[in-house]
Amino acid sequence: MKRLFSATALVLLFLFSGFAQAQQEWKPLNPNTTTRKYSTLLFLINNFYMDTVNMQQLTEKAIVATLKDLDPHSTYISKKNIERANEPLVGSFEGVGITFQLFKDTILVIAPVPGGPSDKVGIMAGDKIIKVDGEKAFGPKITNDWVMKHLRGKKGTKVMVSIFRHGVKGLLDFTIVRDIIPLRSVDAAFMLNKTTGYIKLSRFAQKSTEEFNQAIDSLKRLGLKNLIFDLRGNSGGYLSTAQGIAEEFLGPKKLIVYTQGIHSPRQNLYSSRAGNFKKGKLIVLINDGSASASEIVSGALQDWDRALLIGRRSFGKGLVQRPFRL
């Protein structure tokens, strides 16, 4: 297996890599041009500026602005938003039901939650939300908090979004009725014929491996020999869950993925046990909404000649995120 995913140092509190911390040499900063300069600036603002300033808010805005100069996946989540950011992987919530990322100050839809309100009205992976209830939804003001405030809401309430879709002239308007978002990882599991089963996995959440194994066991009782594993629209999740899912198809001691960055030595992630579906023909379905953990799993299965991949080019994230507390 030759697949490489570069590790990006993120200020995140809701994702974890599952890797043991490797030994590395820390690159020192020049305090005169970095930390000391900024600390002095905050001191001067706090003590000499003509008006009162919320120093905590000012600091958080500076962090957000700094990370915007890195890549679309490096982000900052404030303490008050941690629980909300965790919900798609560990709980439930009310809203429009999309996975998104902020890309160049624009809300980019990674994938609608299957069966959720956005999916029902036709929102697609790759759509860009340009307006929300007539208000511009792009530019420096757009943050994760802004998106949550405008797209979350009580079940039954409505929100209108204007969408830019590649290849379509003008904006597309959709009225979305907010609902309780279905958060089970396995959206479907059934037999297509006497020997071939189908499982659709929508995310790599805390209990996804458990749900997947329950589905496999259920289908085996119905005669499962071959499987179509659908990762279309699956925008990813926990790397440890991706490892657990990949292990179900691979034998032990198989390299699933490795990370390597300019400041991080190579770290390998191997399968550690025999899986629940190590034998039998396997087809994996992917599309442009298949990202992150989906790409790791599908890439590993392809590289080990365990599965045939069918569909469209995947999202192409190529990064493993790591959390750092501030």
For the cut 50, the answer to whether the pLDDT of residue 197 exceeds it is: yes
Q: Is the pLDDT reported for residue 182 higher than 70?
A: no
Q: What is the pLDDT of residue 120?
A: 93
Confidence check: pLDDT of 55 > 60: yes
For residue 10, the model assigns a pLDDT of: 35
pLDDT tens digits along 30-51: 888 888 999 999 999 999 999 9
> How would residue 71 be classed by pLDDT, with cut points 50, 70 and 90?
confident
Asked if 221 contacts 194 with a C-beta cutoff of 8 angstroms, the reply is no
9-13, 58-62, 70-74, 264-268: segment of lowest average pLDDT: 9-13
What is the pLDDT averaged over residues 65-90?
74
Residue 240 annotated to the active site: no
Residue 161 has a pLDDT of 97
pLDDT at 19 over 60: no
pLDDT digits (tens, 9 = 90+) for 237-257: 889 999 999 999 998 899 999
Note the pLDDT of residue 85.
66
Mean per-residue pLDDT, 135-140: 92
84 pLDDT band, cuts 50/70/90, is low
**CB–CB of 172/118 below 8 Å?**
no
Average pLDDT of every residue of the chain: 86
Out of 74, 207, 278, 303, the active site residue is 303
Domain boundaries, the chain: 1-90+183-326, 92-180
- The more confidently predicted of residues 13 and 313 is 313
- According to the model, what pLDDT value does residue 22 have? 45
When pLDDT is cut at 50, 70 and 90, the band that residue 68 belongs to is confident
CB 6 within 8 Å of CB 259: yes
Structure confidence at residue 254 (pLDDT): 93
Confidence of residue 7 (pLDDT cuts 50, 70, 90): very low
pLDDT band at 175 (very low <50, low <70, confident <90, very high): very high
Write down the pLDDT at residue 294.
95
Mean pLDDT for 71-86 is: 74
The per-residue pLDDT for range 276-285, each reduced to its tens digit, is 899 999 999 9
pLDDT, greater one: 111 or 108: 108
CA distance 323 to 302: 28
Fold of 92-180: Pdz3 Domain (2.30.42)
Cα–Cα dist 183/317, whole Å: 23
Q: Can you name the CATH fold of 1-90+183-326? A: 2-enoyl-CoA Hydratase; Chain A, domain 1 (3.90.226)
What pLDDT does 8 receive? Answer: 35
69 labelled catalytic: no
Instruction: Give catalytic status of residue 133 as yes or no.
Output: no
pLDDT at 44: 95
Q: Which pLDDT value is given to residue 313?
A: 92
What string of H, E and C letters represents the secondary structure of the chain?
A: CCCEEEEEECECCCCCCCCCCCCCCCCCCCCCCCHHHHHHHHHHHHHHCCCCCCHHHHHHHHHHHHHCCCCCCCCECCHHHHHHHHHHHHCCCEECCEEEEEECCEEEEEEECCCCHHHHHCCCCCCEEEEECCEECECCCCCHHHHHHHHCCCCCCEEEEEEECCCCCCCEEEEEECEECCCCCEEEEEECCCCEEEEEECCECCCHHHHHHHHHHHHHCCCCCEEEEECCCCCCECHHHHHHHHHCCCCCCCEEEEEEECCEEEEEEECCCCCCCCCCCEEEEECCCCCCHHHHHHHHHHHCCCCEEEECCCCCCCEEEECCCC
Selecting among 292, 294, 298, 314, the annotated active-site residue is 292
For residue 2, pLDDT beyond 60: no
- Residue 72 reports pLDDT greater than 70: yes
> Mean of the pLDDT values across residues 160-179?
95
Question: Which is nearest to 193 in space by CA: 225, 232, 221?
Answer: 225
> So what's the pLDDT on residue 260?
85
